[in-house]
Amino acid sequence: MKGTIMNAAAVIAGCGVGLILRRGIPARYQQTLMQGLGLAVFLIGLQMAVKTQNILVVIISMSVGALAGEALDIDRALKRFSENIADKLGGNHGKVAEGFMTASLMFCIGAMAVVGSIQDGLTGDTSTLYAKSLLDAIVSVVLTSSLGIGVGISSVAVLVYQGTITLLAGFFSTLLSEAAVKELTAVGGLLIMGIGMMMLEIKTIKVANLLPAIPAAAVITYIVSLV
């Protein structure tokens, strides 16, 4: 799990730098920076979303994910978690929750997170995750300058998500075919686009309640391949 540990550490380090830079950035600059980041996040999600090769898998995954997410009310649970952290740190609840959710999605969703974790678990090759760590550190600095310490807390999500895939690499290498990774990435891209819309204050979307769509995409693609 060396690659995942390095990735989580990179996020924390980037957050630390972002917090330092944040103190010297006037509010109006932070607002404009937030808008620019929102556009960039939306573009990242769009680039991921168009990788789908079966739009029906995406539609079904989003539907299943929405139903499961609402039943579990993941959004409420994550907000409570973020609020508890904010209470202990004396931070702003909304910003901590937004930072945690935005960063968690950006750092955890995508082919690099999945493939890199599998490589680490099966062969010990950490090159993909090391490259991802560098990218995530840079993104963490920029996000933290606008969203605060919630971005650093997302390192826990990175550690749990990628660490789990690494430990279960044998199973996931069979389930997550190239097609499954593409559909998982596409669904994740849609969720990231939703985050971008919220950052731009276009629409409030309970993205957390759509998170089950991600594993659903992998499972549905696997089922389709058997038909």
Q: What is the pLDDT of residue 176?
A: 76
Q: Minimal CA–CA distance to 143: which of 191, 102, 183, 174?
A: 102
Q: How far apart are CA 212 and CA 131, in angstroms?
A: 27
Residue 66 one-letter amino acid: A
Structural domain range at position 76: 2-226
Nearest Cα neighbor of 98 from 213, 216, 197, 210 is 197
Amino acid type, 171: F
For residue 51, pLDDT beyond 90: no
Query: Cα(189)–Cα(47) distance, rounded to whole angstroms?
Result: 7
The model's pTM is: 0.74
- Please give the pLDDT value at position 138: 85
What does the pLDDT read at residue 111?
67
Query: How many domains does the chain contain in total?
Result: 1
Predicted pLDDT at 48? 83
| Cα of 136 vs its chain's centroid, Å | 11
Tens-digit pLDDT profile for residues 122-176: 778 888 899 899 888 988 888 888 788 889 989 999 999 999 989 987 776 666 7
pLDDT of residue 94: 55
Please report the pLDDT score of residue 60 as a whole number. Answer: 96
Instruction: Find the range with the poorest average confidence among 19-28, 31-40, 204-213.
Output: 19-28
What is the identity of the amino acid at 20? I
pLDDT of residue 72: 92
pLDDT at residue 63 above 90? Answer: yes
Dihedral sign (CA 151, 157, 159, 162): negative
Q: What is the pLDDT of residue 5?
A: 95
The pLDDT value given to residue 82:
67
The two tokens of residue 29 are 């600059």
Mean pLDDT lowest among 30-44, 80-94, 182-196 = 80-94
| H or E element in which residue 171 lies | helix 169-175
Q: Which residues contact 86 (CB under 8 A, 6 or more apart)?
A: 92, 93, 96, 97
The distance from CA 176 to its chain's CA centroid, rounded to whole angstroms, is 18
CA torsion 4→11→41→161, rounded to 10°? 30
Q: Please check the confidence at residue 43 and state whether its pLDDT lies above 70.
A: yes
**Distance (Å, rounded) from C-alpha 25 to C-alpha 20?**
10
Dump pLDDT digits (tens) for 98-121: 788 888 888 887 667 877 888 788
pLDDT given for residue 174 in this prediction: 67
pLDDT tens-digit map of 179-224: 888 898 888 889 888 888 887 888 888 888 998 998 899 899 989 9
* DSSP one-letter string for 24-54: TS-HHHHHHHHHHHHHHHHHHHHHHHTT-S-
How high is the pLDDT of residue 110?
Answer: 66
Q: What is the pLDDT of residue 52?
A: 93
